[in-house]
Amino acid sequence: MIYIDADACPVKDEVYRVAHRHGIKVFVVSNAFMMVPRDPMIERVVVGQALDAADDWIAERAGPGDVVVTADVPLAHRAVKAGACAIAPTGRVFDEASIGMAIATRDLLQELRASGEVTGGPKPFSARDRSAFLSALDQALRRIRRAGR
């Protein structure tokens, strides 16, 4: 299955297309109602406004053989610990080898922002990011299929 942390996800349409090609169920998890294609393989899940409600819903269900699409590093960490593959919309794949550094970088940047040192946010989402995401998602799904999950 593929779980999308959907509230600010710029690659939902890409996930739908790739999942359709692979015949994989998609859960679009958000804090508010959003339109999703009418397709029995795509399920909208609205979790409410509680802080981290979408993250908690995904983390409670994702496991080996699943893919979690998120830019949220703590959610990616929870997914990786559960055995799922986590991919950011930019195509960055989080795994056991990279999640520790991603958490450390996130924490450092959070501290720098709190002290006023860093005022800019992430760079704008680009066509290159979209292409890298599509490649990473397709590779992850092929790896999962080869592993027989």
pLDDT-derived band at 104, boundaries 50, 70, 90: confident
Mean pLDDT in residue range 133-139: 96
How far is 78 from 84, CA to CA, in rounded Å? 9
Cβ(81)–Cβ(96) under 8 Å? no
Right CATH for 2-95 from 1.10.260, 1.10.10, 3.30.450, 3.40.50: 3.40.50
pLDDT in tens, 1-38: 999 999 889 999 999 999 999 999 999 999 999 999 99
Residue 134 makes CB contacts below 8 A (sequence gap 6+) with 11, 14, 18, 91
Claim: this prediction has a pTM higher than 0.85: yes
Cβ(109)–Cβ(119) under 8 Å? no
The pLDDT of residue 10 is: 96
How far is 71 from 36, CA to CA, in rounded Å? 20
- Residue ranges of the domains in the chain? 2-95
